[in-house]
Chain A
Amino acid sequence: MNILVSYLKDNTQAVVPIVIIVMLLNFTLVPLSVPVVLRFLIGALTLIIGLSIFLVGVDIGITPMGARTGSSLVKTNKLWLFLLGGGLLGLFVSMAEPGLLVLVNQIEYVTAGGIKASTLLAWVPTGFAIMVAMGFARVFLGLSIKVFFTVGYGLIILLAWITSRTSPEFLAIGFDSAGSVTGILVVPFIMALAVGISSMRKDSKQAEEDSFGLIGAGAIGPILAVMILNMFTPTQDYPVISLEPAMAEVGAIMSPFWRIVPTSMKDSVVAILPLAVSLLVLQRIMLKFEKRQFSRILKGFVYTLLGTFLFFMGVNGGFMEVGSQLGYYLASLDNKIWLLVISFGLGFVTILAEPSVHVLTHQIEEVTSGYVKRKLVAASLSVGVGSAILLSAIRVLVPWLSLWHILLPGYLLAVVMTYFAPNLFVGIGFDAGSVATGPLTTTFILAFTQGAASAFPGADLLRDGLGMIALVAMMGIITLLGLGVVFGVKSRKQGVESDVASKS
């Protein structure tokens, strides 16, 4: 069984639950038209194939490149070079993230140009890059990861408190852009970079802990950046534009797919280009891969490109529409319980098909030699994301409940929990939070919550539709820290007291 076949098997298992839920709804509560269902099924198939090819590409292309870049940066043994290199790469890669491009354009549209896409596109990646560099500095200087996240999220909570009183939109935009910047390519690259850096450590336990947390660190940046941006922006009320759920032509089955070929192609090329350019430049000056290995990595990039393209095709061609229709119809039903139940269910299963989640869980298994099992991490994330979508649905139904009412206690809880979880899980948890908000969540689930929001006259699309990503990130962190706490307790040996004290 080669890696492609095993990924195909894994991903089929991951996508089938979504298909089952949608099909069940189709035959019971929400009858969809036949072409929509067929498109959804074709989309699901394309998504499985695309995801598998993408993961193969990450394995043989992106990961080796990231790991070698990380260790080469450490070998220079100059802190400034290390930080500059890390920051520049972070900036370069995150600017091209397709999820971010979609989000900023959407924000510009719903605020009727009040918040410019270009402004956000300058601030968000800069914030990300600075915080990635800070994350590097933390590893280099050996600061505690718990202290790092406490300070980072402490700042966020403080700024968010100020922001929530003047312009709550910016709160949602901040968290959402942090979630969408850590998407399909940033995650595998930065993660491999972190593993490469920490593998140079002599202390193997420390090395493992430092392999995670860099993405979580980077995600702090955009939130801070957007909220700081808000301070320089005069407070104003943005006109509310309501979005109708996307209803494509009813009869066509294949033509919606053909129509999105150019945009999907463009998105995937744009996303991978910065990494490919970096590879060519770095190979010259620093990486010096052998010829055989270099050609392997190049092939890996081709796989990544092809996989990303197919993935976007599947999601945009078949998933988005079903998502917004499901949300719209479920929210129009008299019995609101269904909306809540399905929200949880969709969140629970969708996250399993998220590409970056696969990358993270594989990396965790690889780094811990299988000690932290992939299934456990995925299961915790499922519960977390399921409850996050549930909370989003509740927010749509309960107009006075603002994002802030959930985020404040949630992040406070997360920060407190870091002190009870093993260090390894602190990094994994904050990484997982950002990783959970990948291209599938930001399209399919976003379409679902926006569809639900648009069925309500009282719901405000900007405030209610957005903010879902923030909740997904938050709940991801909380459930994984919870898993960490349980793991810490369970891993203690039974019947042997002597060395328990010396471990901790």
Chain B
Amino acid sequence: MSQANPETKHYELICVIVNFGLGSRVLGMAKKNGVSGGTIVLGRGTVHNRLLKLLELTDIRKEIVLMVAEKSLAFNTLEVLDAELDFSRPNHGIAFVMPVGAFIGTGNYEYEFTAEDGGASSMYSAIFVVVEKGLAEEVMDVAKSVGARGGTIINARGSGIHETAKLLNMEIEPEKEIVLMLTKTESTEGIVKAVRDNLKIDEPGNGIIFVQSVAETYGILNA
């Protein structure tokens, strides 16, 4: 990782996959540790067991927690989570971090787009836009108008620094939608800018965008 500009903060995407029901706890712990917010997606895992497969009992419900944080905070958070949840033991979930090229959204963070993150410059980048439920279509429309080829909408829930309401000691995590778009690196900046301006991502509480570079893609048709 090139530390060309010491002013630039480096961000990491923290992914934690845990059994269903633990997601909110993970997010809560991370927030206590200083992470500004996170998004939770429901998933399904499977167990490897022949008998269970015959009985069709292989499903396990999972939750995937996605959080973006500044590099040192991200690693620190991961350690804190590991201490609490014991990822090394079987069935306790997994966690990993990935570098993020650009991160916009929580107001106080600066925006610096570095396409050649990770050394070699890559052809494509993955843009993640997390917005309030119902706004994903708008994100897609805006992105398509400036050259995005398509995108995938993922249902999620999550909470940022402005969403801290509680009900019967349970935190309310409003519904979100994640739009995932794979785009050519040269058009990434334009798409990010358009989405950012149209959905006012820079104003606090309107969502976040982060971009990761992608090493290899298949199935994206070139115009």
Contacts and interface: CB of A to CB of B under 8 A. Distances in A.
B97 interface: no
A246 B133 CA distance: 53
Interface stretch (A113-121, A233-241, A269-277, A365-373): A365-373
Interface string A479-504: 00000001100111111101100010
Nearest to A424: B175
B170 A376 contact: yes
B61 A499 contact: no
Interface in B165-215: 165-168, 170, 172-177, 200, 203-206
B25 interface: no
A204 B20 CA distance: 23
Size bracket of the B interface: 35 or more
Interface in A360-392: 366, 368-371, 373, 375-376, 379
A3 B157 contact: no
B110 interface: no
B42 interface: yes
Interface string B140-169: 000000000000010111000011111110
Given A370-B40, A499-B205, A3 B57 contact: yes
B99 interface: no
B59 interface: yes
A204 B200 CA distance: 20
Q: Which range holds the interface residue count of chain A? A: 35 or more
Contacts of B216: none
B133 A490 contact: no
Contacts of A56: 57
Interface string B36-56: 000011100001000010011
A2 B47 contact: yes
Nearest to B154: A369
A299 B58 CA distance: 13
Contact of B205 (A2, A204, A300, A496): A496
Contacts of A491: 163, 165, 172, 174
B24 interface: yes
A412 B169 CA distance: 31
Interface in A296-344: 296, 299-300
Nearest to A367: B155
A486 B166 CA distance: 10
A371 B157 contact: yes
A371 B137 contact: no
A2 B53 CA distance: 11
B105 interface: no
A59 B136 CA distance: 28
B222 interface: no
B167 A487 contact: yes
B118 interface: no
A1 B59 contact: no
A40 to B, nearest CB: 29
A204 B42 contact: no
A202 B137 contact: yes
Contacts of B133: 204-205, 208
Contact of B168 (A60, A296, A376, A503): A376
Contact of A6 (B61, B156, B157, B200): B61
A368 B42 CA distance: 10
Given A3-B60, A204-B137, A499-B206, A370 B55 contact: no
B55 A299 contact: yes
Contacts, number: 102
Nearest to A492: B165
A396 B171 CA distance: 40
B217 interface: no
B63 A59 contact: no
Nearest to A303: B56
A203 interface: yes
Given A370-B40, A370-B42, A486-B167, A300 B203 contact: no
A208 B155 CA distance: 11
Contacts of A490: 165-167, 172
A4 interface: yes
B82 interface: no
A498 B170 CA distance: 26
Given A366-B42, A486-B167, A371 B162 contact: no
A351 B146 CA distance: 53
Contacts of A366: 42
A493 B155 contact: no
Interface string B8-26: 0000000000011001100
Contacts of B34: none
A272 B63 CA distance: 32
B132 interface: yes
A376 B40 CA distance: 18
Contacts of A299: 55-56
Interface hub of A59, A296, A300, A499 (most chain B Cβ within 10 A): A499
B2 interface: no
Nearest to A494: B162
Nearest to A498: B203
Given A371-B173, A371-B174, A493 B162 contact: yes
Contacts of A1: 19, 60, 91
Most B CB contacts (10 A, CB to CB) among A204, A376, A379, A494 go to: A204
15 contacts: A2-B60, A3-B61, A6-B20, A6-B60, A202-B137, A203-B137, A204-B134, A204-B136, A204-B137, A369-B157, A487-B167, A494-B162, A494-B165, A495-B205, A498-B203
Given A491-B165, A498-B200, A498-B205, 19 more contacts: A1-B91, A4-B57, A204-B155, A205-B133, A208-B175, A299-B55, A299-B56, A300-B56, A369-B156, A369-B175, A370-B23, A370-B63, A370-B173, A371-B175, A487-B172, A490-B167, A491-B163, A491-B174, A495-B205
The 8 residue pairs across chains A and B that have the minimum distance between CB atoms: A205-B134, A496-B205, A490-B165, A493-B162, A371-B175, A371-B157, A369-B157, A369-B155
